[in-house]
Amino acid sequence: MPDTKWRLVKSFVPEAVCRLAALLVISVLFLILYYIFQRGAGVISPAFLTALPTPVGVPGGGIGNALLGSLVMVALGALLAVPCGVAAAVYLDQNPKSRLAAACRFASRVLTGVPSLIVGLFVFTLLVLRTGQYSALAGGIALAVMMMPVITLSAEEMLRLVPNSWREASLALGASKKQTVLRLVLPAAAAGIAVGVMLAVALAAGQTAPVLLTALTSIFWPENLLQPTASLPVLIYTYAISPFADWQQQAWGAALVLVVMVLMLNIAAQLFIAVKNRRG
């Protein structure tokens, strides 16, 4: 029966193509990981992770201050962006058709498309030029500007997935609007919101331009939030474009640390969600 055969082929080919595409996506991640690992693993050591950077020709340089600086600035960015973004998403979810909501949604979409360099310039002009001081605080604010629209949009999507029947049931049982949002809608969407936050954190951790323009860089340990502060992407950028082999080596090592950090964050988020789902 040639007809059946033809049908089988028609079903098999597109499936195979899609499967291949899926494999391709995974293999790209693994290739990048493999390549960075191969080039960068050799320099990783406890000393590399904790020492201050050294100039070309002085052995023993590390990325300690850049690692700490990146962590501090990303954490600061998240601290500013998460409450703000989630609160905005709650507003969008509660008043989906208001004019303010439409404007906010539009602004967020535009903001996600704005090149990170522009965000950096904006914070540079607003804060650095006014105060004459590069700082981790300015870096954190620039990263918060990058993260906020991503969090707002993804959190709104997640809140919208909470079925209306649940909300109606809650209100019908006599719960107030506040109780419905805080005790029902937000917990139900928490896992999805966390994914959006992780995405935003990963995005922020890899930014070079906004951080270079606002926090600059430093060869010293960060002592407070009002000083120029080193970060991993800026260190990788400076080292990678130099012609010196020992800096290039360290750039690979720092890249590996950055990628593993982002990967760990994602894995942590997945685990968190898995655990939460099993309980709930």
**Single-letter residue type at 131:** T
Q: Does 249 bind another protein (CB under 8 A)?
A: no
> d(Cα 81, Cα 144) in Å, to the nearest integer?
5
Cα–Cα distance measured from residue 278 to residue 238, given in angstroms and rounded to the nearest whole number: 45
Q: Is 140 in the site for another protein (CB under 8 A)?
A: no
Our finding on whether 134 is near another protein (CB under 8 A) is yes
Q: Residue written as tokens 């002009």?
A: 125
Residue count at the site for another protein (CB under 8 A)?
49
The single residue among 201, 256, 258, 262 that binds another protein, judged by CB under 8 A, is: 256
Nearer to another protein, 203 or 213 (CB): 213
According to the binding rule CB under 8 A, does residue 13 interact with another protein? no
- The least distance separating another protein from the CB of residue 189, rounded to whole angstroms, comes to 11
Read out DSSP for 26-74? HHHHHHHHHHHHHHHGGG--HHHHHSPP--TT-S----HHHHHHHHHHH
Binding region for another protein (CB under 8 A) out of 74-82, 103-111, 113-121, 243-251: 243-251
**Of 9 and 25, which CB lies nearer to another protein in the complex structure?**
25
Q: Please report whether residue 243 would count as binding another protein according to CB under 8 A.
A: yes
Candidate list 102, 129, 169, 182; residue touching another protein; CB under 8 A: 129
Which DSSP string do the residues of 190-231 spell out, in sequence order? HHHHHHHHHHHHHHHHT--HHHHHHT---SS---STTS----
Instruction: Please state, in angstroms and rounded to a whole number, the distance separating the CA atoms of residues 168 and 180.
Output: 9
CA distance 208 to 40: 19
**Min CB(264)–another protein separation in Å:** 6
Decide if residue 46 touches another protein (CB under 8 A).
yes
Residues in contact with another protein by CB under 8 A are: 33, 41, 44-48, 54-60, 128-129, 132-134, 191-192, 195, 212, 216-220, 227-228, 238, 240-245, 247, 256, 260, 263-264, 267, 270-271, 273-274, 277, 280
